[in-house]
Amino acid sequence: MRYLARISYDGSEFQGFQRLNNGKGVQNVLESVLSNINRKSVLVKGAGRTDAGVHALDQCIHFDLNIDIALDKLQYSMNRMLPNSISVESISIVDNFFHARHAVKTKTYVYKVFCGKKNPFLYSYVYFFPFSLDLALMKKACGLFLGMHNFQSFVSGERENYTSIIDSFDIYKEEDFIIFEVKGKSFYRYMVRNLVGAILDVGRGKASLDDISEALQNPLLEKRFSVAPSTGLYLMKVEY
């Protein structure tokens, strides 16, 4: 039987979601616990990979079990066996053709920038950024990324296709926090962090709106924008 689970985790405890040889991926831990419950090896597939230090409030996974177990008991058993840094928020039964990644319609990411006084208790969960920012200009920069674009200038590493569609991209201030919220279907390696870094460059006066437009229109031109660190990034919502 195939299951869909929605999980949250503290990314500062792991080297990313993906299974790693050193066992320090979220996927390693989930597979170990589920294999113990199932008494047979279990493979976990996620809605997407998150990098080292990136957090999730709504990562989705699917897996198959050979045993007959009630959903509430399965959730309880997983949460009891998982470390405190991972929580199973819900579990449901899906058909055997469901795939946690291929079936995704949209993902929403949030990025948190903190402009207040340095706080050691926030260090792993925000990007400390003690600089003056032009929020109105940054909102205009967000708007440039809406719709379908070639995001090659804002993706790390090489791939065959850099095209993606961003449905919405908002930015707002809450006390000392500046929150970015971006929604779309496909996000490539470091893409959100590259977008946030470029917008912060605009807010500081290190880059212009024209620089971003040019990078989108001609991705072969080498543009140098900042890359925001992983600590402030959260996978907030996966929709099917």
Whether residues 225 and 198 fall in one domain: yes
Whether residues 213 and 128 fall in one domain: yes
Report the 10 Å Cβ neighbour count for 14. 25
The total number of structural domains in the chain stands at 2
Quick check: is 159 in a domain?
Answer: yes
Could you tell me the sign of the dihedral formed by the alpha carbons of 212, 106, 237, 3, in that order?
Answer: negative
User: In terms of residue numbers, what domain contains 130?
Assistant: 106-239
Spatial separation of the C-alpha atoms in residues 16 and 134, rounded to whole Å: 32
Supply the CATH number for residue 76's domain.
Answer: 3.30.70.580
Whether residues 116 and 53 fall in one domain: no
- The single residue of 10, 51, 64, 72 carrying the catalytic annotation is 51
Whether residues 143 and 173 fall in one domain: yes
Q: What is the pLDDT of residue 23?
A: 73
| Residue 21 backbone dihedrals phi, psi, to 5 degrees | -65, -30
User: Mapping DSSP to helix (H, G, I), strand (E, B) and coil, where does residue 46 land?
Assistant: strand
Q: What is the pLDDT of residue 143?
A: 97
Read off the amino acid at residue 174.
E
At 122, list the tokens: 């926030």
Quick check: is 101 in a domain?
Answer: no
Could you state, in chain order, the average pLDDT of each consecutive group of 10 residues for the chain (240 residues)?
98 92 91 96 95 96 96 98 97 97 97 93 94 95 96 89 95 96 94 97 96 91 88 97
Q: Is 51 considered catalytic here?
A: yes
Q: What is the pLDDT of residue 172?
A: 95
